[in-house]
Structure 1
């Protein structure tokens, strides 16, 4: 029986790989992609990067302005994740199988969270451009909606996994709904919730760079401006600053996770 199981998995894997190769081949034919040219252009791209895409002495004079843009991006990312986490926690409580009031509220909150989660932040930015134009508010709301959808799903799963046994115990003692939420659910989920918020802040900072290109704000706009003006040295400095900021924030968030988990 075990041999049949592994044979079936092997067949499924072969079928999947065959379908993947077929889809890849069809995509190459439709897009008229030149595979040989694509691979042979890699050395040229690397050579060009080392020859042009690096900070020079003049680009370093723009560092203060770049840091101001970075600060704007980081603050918007943190604000969007923090505020979204409050709304996400409320929706997660109503959408959880453990703490949901009834099946209707659970279904509605899950549908709303799924809708917001499945629309990418860049799509949100383009939608919101019609309402708010190219402004920091557009970037904020795009990150907020994306964060809200993701965190609602994450918080819902956290509540279902962490607090189910304690909720059942309190319900057996006749505790009120709000007592269960504030004395059991939230305290037991706080470490995981903080961890998810930190992860969302990291993700938002990465996404905010792309969002800034669309909304004309933050570090993304600075990169777009330098790159379009063919100032590749300054654009490369922007990339280095973003990478450094992401590494610092990731190390800080990892340290906080180790302390609280």
Structure 2
């Protein structure tokens, strides 16, 4: 379910403010991140797992020497992607009354304070760009 719909439901349930936005982002993100983690687990090469088991490796040895080294790059990428999406979604959720930076942006536009609105948009763009650059650097270090 999209975070925007969840935010409207939570705004109706708990009222205006950041609590509704946080609840909407948490529920929407947990489901999507769970799907990404499951996809990462499905992409693991079973040959490595069987090789560790064949030489007598126990459950912990299989986990730490065959599963995690293959899954960590995907998990790091998925986590950073969710951080990026949540920052962008928090802007949209604030417009419907779920608080956060989107509420500031909405109020700035509503009061015709376009300099402040432009500054908010530039800061959001810079943060998303920096997170994308950081994610690329971290992925290059992990892989």
Using structure 1 for the length normalisation, give the TM-score: 0.49
Rg comparison, structure with higher value: 1
Q: Which 5+ residue runs of structure 1 have no aligned equivalent?
A: 1-118
Note the C-alpha offset of 1:131: 3.0
Structure 2 gaps of 5+ residues are none
CA contact (8 A) 1:126 1:214 kept: yes
Runs of 4+ in 1 over 6 A off after TM superposition: none
- Counterpart in the other structure of 2:93: 211
Are 1:202 and 1:246, in contact at CA under 8 Å, matched by a contact in 2?
yes
| Deviation of 1:140 (Å) | 1.7
Please give the secondary structure, in 2, of the residue aligned with 1:155. helix
Partner residue in 1 for 2:23: 141
Aligned pairs for 1:82-97 (under 5 A) are none
In 2, Cα distance between the equivalents of 1:247 and 1:219?
A: 17
Counterpart in 2 of 1:127?
A: 9
Aligned length: 143
Q: What is the alpha-carbon root mean square deviation over aligned residues?
A: 2.2
Q: Deviations over 1:12-49 (max 9, x none)?
A: xxxxxxxxxxxxxxxxxxxxxxxxxxxxxxxxxxxxxx
Match of 2:73 in 1: 191
Of 210, 222, 229, the match for 2:111: 229
Q: CA deviation at 1:164?
A: 2.1
TM (norm. structure 2) is 0.84
User: Who is 2:37 aligned against?
Assistant: 155
Matches within 5 A, 1:60-75: none
SS at match of 1:169: helix
Matched, 1:259 2:131: no
Compared CA separation, residues 146 and 216, structure 1 to 2 (3 A): closer
* Alignment check: 8 A CA contact 1:163 1:189 kept: no
Counterpart contact for 1:121–1:143, Cα < 8 Å: yes
